[in-house]
Chains A and B, each alone.
Chain A
């Protein structure tokens, strides 16, 4: 990529009359200026939600899982729904950072930093649930294969629940390393502009001595490619392992081989929707519309449309196979989903996930900010209900009618979920004011090829 040429037909990825210095100023501004009233209002709400959730988790820890709505046979409900929802959301960030890097999609540069931040924060939320849903969370370390004297107590390698432990921890670790590596030149920029000695010290520490020499950049590019190579299989494998929590069981509606691709597509679907929600707000609030352009929004909408269609196909496949298999348990599982006591959740799932992404075929809609925002919320709600439907409807009525039961959440279930949303936004809001939210070093590398000012000069010739 030595020349700065880009075909005129490609839309500019950096709008306006930006120079390198403009980029530095724009991206550093939210970090260097104190937050405004809107930020404080949002932060207070998020903090309140987080503290409420923390209280609910503490209550659960002290009193026991009985404070949740779980009972036989519904042993998993909001806890695992939330776990899968949060993990799924995380997948978009890794796809944008890693997969789009390997595919040389330059449009990823405006969004990858925030998308990857979203991934880290959502995986943190996801990781809370396997721990708090244990009866004895203080023994959570028993999940790790550490030689011991308890007889010895060994983990069950046959169990997908254990594979989850490894998959999620690997995912969190690799994502963190990838994110932090990309942040080094950007932290260095803040460090170099910093006047306040405390700020300078902190940013010097976290930029790991980045010097900006050509050698640093060369290593940076190499490491990014290696990490992208490591992270790409994770996009597919992590949610596959999560789907195995269900697919390796014997429950009708769960025991199906379509789950791995279905879950991965669903994860990317909901992840991109969450990225949209966050970025549409952030680009307005932090005045980054020149870097996160309508083109970026449109590309993400197209991904949402494609993955939403895959998910829709999966739904139809499940229904078809349930009928075609002739297995009455499987057939009843789906009949119950559509017509049983949780039909409303199924209906929400179908309308939010199958119908709403299809309207993105219309260009006017997928390039419209308001519509994009609305659909992103709708998709996230729909995907939460998808996990709820899969888990609760299959558990509450399985093989033996004498065991059939109903589930309803307690205010602790709901409180913990709201708490994780609060925690997520606390983290994201803090990130937005202390980290450069756009990969400004990477964006600078495409300014002369894809920046509007330079394209205008070049194309006029």
Chain B
């Protein structure tokens, strides 16, 4: 979608296949490059992570060892869809914390 001028990015209201807001990410990277600094943790945002006021959606640089998303990744609660196939998708989920006697 970055390279295709024929596909317009909708202003708001319409969800197509999630591109993980690549245009916003690219802008964040370019802004940081212009300022001559590294991208700070929390600077990367997608439309959904911005919209969620409870912080249920976190978007970040998983290669940055200190970012919030890296921590979530290391957490035992983290899982991906069809993890056993090994496709390593970029979307992580966290297991719901349940109040249960079972370990």
Contact = CB atoms under 8 A, between A and B. Distances in A.
Contacts of B87: 250
B15 interface: no
A150 B87 CA distance: 29
B3 interface: yes
Contact of A150 (B3, B82, B85, B86): B3
A399 B3 contact: no
Contacts of A153: 3
Interface in A376-402: 399-400
B85 A250 contact: yes
Contacts of A399: 82, 85
A250 B85 CA distance: 7
Contacts of B82: 399-400
A293 to B, nearest CB: 54
Contacts, number: 9
Interface in A396-413: 399-400
Interface in B75-103: 82, 85-87
- Chain A, interface size category, equals under 10
Interface in B28-85: 82, 85
A230 B74 CA distance: 52
Contacts of B3: 150-151, 153
Contacts of B86: 250
Interface residues of B, number: 5
B21 to A, nearest CB: 19
A150 B3 CA distance: 8
Nearest to A255: B85
A250 B3 CA distance: 28
A250 B86 CA distance: 9
Which of B3, B85, B86 has the most A CB atoms < 10 Å from its CB?
A: B85
Nearest to A153: B3
A84 B86 CA distance: 28
B8 to A, nearest CB: 16
Nearest to A399: B82
A399 B87 CA distance: 13
Interface string B8-33: 00000000000000000000000000
B25 to A, nearest CB: 16
Interface string A127-151: 0000000000000000000000011
A329 to B, nearest CB: 9
A153 B85 CA distance: 29
A400 B82 CA distance: 9
A246 to B, nearest CB: 15
A49 B87 CA distance: 43
B99 to A, nearest CB: 28
A399 B84 CA distance: 11
B16 to A, nearest CB: 13
Contacts of A400: 82
B22 to A, nearest CB: 14
Interface in A243-279: 250
Contacts of B85: 250, 399
A400 B3 CA distance: 32
A261 to B, nearest CB: 25
A247 to B, nearest CB: 15
Interface in A146-175: 150-151, 153
9 contacts: A150-B3, A151-B3, A153-B3, A250-B85, A250-B86, A250-B87, A399-B82, A399-B85, A400-B82
Cβ-closest 9 pairs across A and B: A250-B85, A399-B82, A151-B3, A250-B87, A150-B3, A153-B3, A399-B85, A400-B82, A250-B86
Given A150-B3, A153-B3, 7 more contacts: A151-B3, A250-B85, A250-B86, A250-B87, A399-B82, A399-B85, A400-B82
